[in-house]
């Protein structure tokens, strides 16, 4: 298992079935429902987020789970990964944990051979929209069939 220590936080790879991942994804789901009135399923297949297909990580802040996220291959041929389920608990926001998480995921994806990342967020998530823009992500057409263009926004970033 790969870990990364960044200042006072630790990033530890976890299976989507790990108790900390399950708890964080439930909190993520509840926040999405409160923000939009609905949310995508939080079910993640272990095979999608296990090396070499991807990775999922939990951020620990002062020993407790503070956030999570992962990447998985979207298109191996074009070396594009999709970053998924990035979330930081409200009590840990505003301290750079989300940026550290995103940078870690990008670095791991590049190490696995990715040259591009795509991701989605919703129009009411100003924090995520700001973070992604500040990290060089640019708006792209939706890559998920059936998405509501009034709610969902897709972004991409080239690593080269």
Token pair belonging to 156:
């991409």
Task: Quote the mean pLDDT of the chain.
Answer: 92
- Per residue in 123-152, pLDDT (tens digit) is 999 999 999 999 999 999 999 999 988 899
Residue among 130, 22, 19 at smallest CA distance from 85? 22
119 contacts 132 by C-beta, under 8 angstroms: yes
Q: 3-158 is classed in which CATH architecture? A: 3-Layer(aba) Sandwich (3.40)
Rg of the chain over all Cα atoms, to the nearest angstrom: 15
- Residue 107 near residue 72 (C-beta atoms within 8 A): no
How would you classify the pairing of strands 116-122 and 80-88? parallel
Q: What is the pLDDT of residues 45-68, one digit of tens each?
A: 768 999 999 999 999 998 899 999
């Amino acid at each position: 298992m790969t870990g990364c220590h960044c200042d006072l936080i630790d990033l530890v790879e976890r299976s989507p079935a790990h108790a900390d991942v399950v708890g964080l994804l439930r909190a993520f789901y509840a926040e999405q429902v409160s923000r939009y009135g609905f949310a995508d399923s939080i079910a993640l297949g272990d095979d999608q987020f296990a090396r070499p297909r991807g990775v999922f990580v939990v951020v620990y802040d002062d020993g407790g789970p503070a956030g999570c996220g992962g990447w998985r291959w979207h298109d191996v041929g074009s070396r594009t990964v999709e970053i998924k389920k990035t979330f930081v608990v409200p009590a840990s926001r505003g301290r750079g944990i989300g940026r550290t998480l995103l940078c870690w995921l990008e670095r791991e994806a590049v190490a696995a051979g990715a040259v591009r990342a795509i991701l989605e967020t919703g129009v009411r998530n100003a924090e995520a929209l700001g973070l992604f823009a500040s990290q060089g992500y640019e708006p792209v057409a939706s890559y998920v069939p059936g998405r509501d263009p009034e709610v969902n926004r897709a972004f991409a970033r080239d690593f080269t």
